[in-house]
Structures are given as structure tokens and as C-alpha cells.
Amino acid sequence: MPVEGVNEGTTGIRAVCFCITGNKLKTVYMHRPADSSILHDQRGQASVFVLAMIGVVLVSVLFLYQSGRLTSEKMQLQNAADAAAYGASTLEARSLNFSAYTNRAMVANEVAVGQLVGLLSFADELKTTEEYADVYVSMIETFAEIVVDACAVETFGICIPIVEGIANVVVGIIEAIAGVLSGVGDALEGFFDVVVGPSIKVLSTINKIYSTSQEIYHGATYVLVAKNILD
């Protein structure tokens, strides 16, 4: 049967408990400090370190947030700059491609103009064939006269009719061919005057249009590039 007793001292409360177990008597002492606020003060020491760690964590989180924000803004600016550069390069490439295509068309037109001018020159040369033929006829007649004079001395005039006959045949052939070619040249020149002249004017006008369109396209490209950069 347990028996309790309480003894209160300056250092705390002391409780004594007597327990009878079988034929033996046991004494159990229990001691509680009189002032327990000392224990509570010891428990509060960890809060100082906790507050310090919270401050460090908050500063670290703020630093990470600012670093991430700066990195994000830098990436956005870099992406915007890359997009502007890519857009400007694309517009400039299109402008250069347009210039290349129109230049090829202009070159083809200039070649066509050169061919038409060559045809006009060819027709004019055919037209003046009789003038060149007259020069050759004059040369042949002079040569025939020299041969006839030589034949009159050496063969007593026997070969003179032969030489004159050959000279007349050659001269006739040359004059006939020259007449035909001159007629063809006149016909071609009349046809080319009707067709070639206006064609040359049309091709020259088209080239001027191409040149003006290139200048307009380049100007529009500069405006679009500036707008792309500003946007």
C-alpha cells in the first residue's frame, strides 16, 4: 500500500512515496524545481538561429528572383534583337533577289535590242550591195582592159573577144546577184522599220520600268527594315 508525503524546500518541491511490495518497504523520491521558467528560457535560444536563417533564406530567394528576372529580360532582348536582325536580313535578301531577277530580264532585253539592231544593220548592208558590186565591176573591167591590150600585142587580137566575153559574163553575174540582194535588203529594211523600231522602243521602256521598280523596292525595303527594328 503506497503512502505519500510532500516536503517543500527552497530549491523545489520534493515528494516522497512509500511503496510496500510484499514484505519490503520502498521509498521513491520525486523532485521538481521550484522555478520552471529557466527551462522555458533555454527552449527559446533556437529561435535566434531560426530568425537568422530565415533572413538568409529570404535574401537568397530575393537574389535568385532578381537574377532570374534579369536573365529573362536579357533573353527577351536578345530574342527581339535576333528577330529584328533576321527580319531585316530576310527583307534585304528579297530586295536583292528582286534586283537579280529584274537585272537578268534587263540583260535579256538588251541582248534582244542588240539582235534587232544587228538585223537592221544587216538589212542596210544588203541594201548597199549594188554599191559594193559597182566597185568589183569597175575592178573587173579595168583588169579586162589590161588583158585585152596584152592580147592585142601578143596574139594579134585573137583572144580579145574571149576576154571580153568572160568579163561581160562575170560582170553580169555580179550585177544580177547585187540586184537581188539589194531588193531583199530594201524589203527587209521596210519590214524592220515597221517591226524592229517599235520593238526596240518597247524593250527600252520595259528596262526603264524595271530600273524604276528596283529603286521603289529598295526604298520600301528600307522603310520595312526600319519599321521592323522599331517594332
**pLDDT for the residue 17:** 52
CB 162 within 8 A of CB 147: no
Segment 22-47, tens digit of pLDDT: 555 555 555 555 555 544 555 666 67
**Range from 70-79, 142-151, 154-163 carrying the lowest mean pLDDT:** 154-163
Closest to 200 measured CA to CA, from 124, 126, 121 = 121
20 sits in the region (left: phi over 0; alpha: psi -120 to 50; else beta) called: beta
The residue-averaged pLDDT of 165-171 equals 83
219 and 169, same domain (yes or no):
yes
Which percentage of the chain shows pLDDT scores above 90? 16
Predicted model pTM: 0.53
More confident residue, 135 or 214: 214
92 and 203, same domain (yes or no):
yes
Question: For residue 213, is pLDDT > 70?
Answer: yes
**pLDDT for the residue 156:** 55
Which percentage of the chain shows pLDDT scores above 70? 76
If pLDDT is split at 50, 70 and 90, which confidence band does 1 have? very low
119 and 152, same domain (yes or no):
yes
**pLDDT for the residue 13:** 46
Report how many domains make up the chain: 3
Question: Could you tell me the three cell numbers for 195?
Answer: 517591226
Name the residue range of residue 14's domain. 3-34
**Distance separating alpha carbons of residues 103 and 217, to the nearest angstrom:** 13
Question: For residue 224, is pLDDT > 60?
Answer: yes
56 and 126, same domain (yes or no):
no
- 120 part of a folded domain: yes
105 and 193, same domain (yes or no):
yes
